[in-house]
Amino acid sequence: MTDPLSPEGIREVCTARQGYVHSVETGGTVDGPGIRFVLFLNGCPLRCKYCHNPDTWQLKRGTLRHARDLLEEISGYKDFLIRAKGGVTISGGEPLMQPAFLETLFKGCKEMGLHTALDTSGHLHHLSPDSLFDQVDLVLLDIKAGNDATHRKVTGKPLQPTLDFAARMVRREKPMWIRFVLVPGLTDAEDHLREVAGIIAGIPNVQRVEILPFHQLAGYKYEQLKLKYELKDTPQAGAMDVVMAWRIFSEEGVYSANP
Ligand code: SF4
């Protein structure tokens, strides 16, 4: 059987014309500038312990949809999105799991004159050609840990592909927003926060940084999917935890917005 995460495996299931979609949100305000049409694609190679959307993990759990139909749907919001200084964000799951489909969607959005954002961990970027990233105006990069051991603990996968992706986006001078999830007992140790900040400080084209506090919102999804939810007893991160994390980030030269 072909490895589903190999270039051959990806080509087997995803084409430029159709792909697996989890859901759409028409008034998103947190995934990029302005008001956004957010498209969530299925499929993700990571298994983040805090994932809020484990129902996106399996590619084929999604609905198979034509790019043409999705672009037609987006075109209905085009004028509104432009007036609202927003655009289209493609998230997941991990959108880079369906590179040909993703490129078609972004290309269609750019042809409509819409701002485009890619929400990714960067993990599968090696499967995507540069021509895909030419269609992306902003990268929302999730940095899940500051060292390989913690990254493997949080996601089950190595950190290096994310670092390589960040370097690739630096070479392409792509604007980036960074997001980091603060999880008590998992990612909030002071030394670890300094490592995360060190990675972010080394990326010159970061425009904004967000520290997202861990919330207990997704437990029921794991139950429904009969998956083990390892953070069941983990406390939520509070406002003071976020303030403390920002203090450490700022000591390392990382601020919420770059001037
Ligand atoms: S990368 Fe996103 S979708 Fe994938 S497991 Fe992590 S949080 Fe969930």
Determine contact, residues 92/22, Cβ cutoff 8 Å. Answer: yes
Q: Whose CA is nearest to atom 2 of ligand 1?
A: 93
* Phi, psi dihedral angles at 118 (to 5 degrees): -115, 120
pLDDT at residue 6, as a whole number: 66
Ligand 1 atom at minimum distance from 121 CA: 1
Q: What is the CATH number of domain 143-259?
A: 3.20.20.70
Q: What residue has token string 């935890």? A: 241
* Calpha distance 154→97 (Å, rounded): 20
Question: 64 - beta bridge partners?
Answer: 20
Nearest to 193 by CA among 242, 234, 127: 242
Q: Ligand 1 mean position to 56 CA, how many Å?
A: 8
Q: Read off the pTM.
A: 0.95
Q: Is 102 exposed, middle or buried (0-12, 13-18, 19+ CB in 10 A)?
A: buried
Ligand 1 atom at minimum distance from 50 CA: 7
Nearest to 161 by CA among 150, 176, 151: 151
pLDDT at residue 15, as a whole number: 82
Q: Ligand 1 mean position to 79 CA, how many Å?
A: 31
Cα 27 to the center of its chain, rounded Å: 18
Q: Ligand 1 mean position to 47 CA, how many Å?
A: 6
Cα 122 to the center of its chain, rounded Å: 8
* Calpha distance 193→245 (Å, rounded): 7
**Spans of the chain, pLDDT less than 50:** none
Nearest to 133 by CA among 166, 86, 92: 166
Give the CATH architecture of domain 1-44+54-113: Alpha-Beta Barrel (3.20)
* Calpha distance 114→5 (Å, rounded): 30
Residues of each domain in the chain carrying CATH 3.20.20.70:
1-44+54-113, 143-259
Q: What is the DSSP string of 138-151?
A: EEEEE---SSHHHH
pLDDT at residue 13, as a whole number: 64
**Average model confidence (pLDDT) across the chain:** 94
* Calpha distance 98→176 (Å, rounded): 21
Q: Map residue 238 onto helix, strand or coil.
A: coil
Ligand 1 atom at minimum distance from 181 CA: 7
Ligand 1 atom at minimum distance from 56 CA: 3
Q: Tell me: cis bond preceding 93? Omega within 30 of 0 counts.
A: yes
Which residues are near ligand 1 (CB < 6 Å)?
44, 46-48, 51, 53, 56, 92-94, 121
* Calpha distance 29→38 (Å, rounded): 9
| pLDDT tens figures, 161-209 | 999 999 999 999 999 999 999 999 999 999 999 999 999 999 999 999 9
- Going across the sheet that includes 87-91, the strands are 63-66, 18-28, 36-41, 87-91, 115-120, 138-142, 176-182, 206-213
Task: Tell me the HSE value of 184 on the side-chain side, using a 13 A CA sphere.
Answer: 14
Q: Whose CA is nearest to atom 3 of ligand 1?
A: 93
pLDDT at residue 12, as a whole number: 63
Residues across the chain = 259
Neighbours of 56 (CB within 10 A): 24
Q: Cβ contacts of residue 231 below 8 Å, gap of 6+?
A: 49, 50, 183, 186, 214, 216
pLDDT at residue 217, as a whole number: 87
To test the pocket of ligand 1, the residue of 21, 23, 47, 48 to mutate (highest count of ligand atoms within 8 Å of its CB) is 48
pLDDT at residue 64, as a whole number: 95
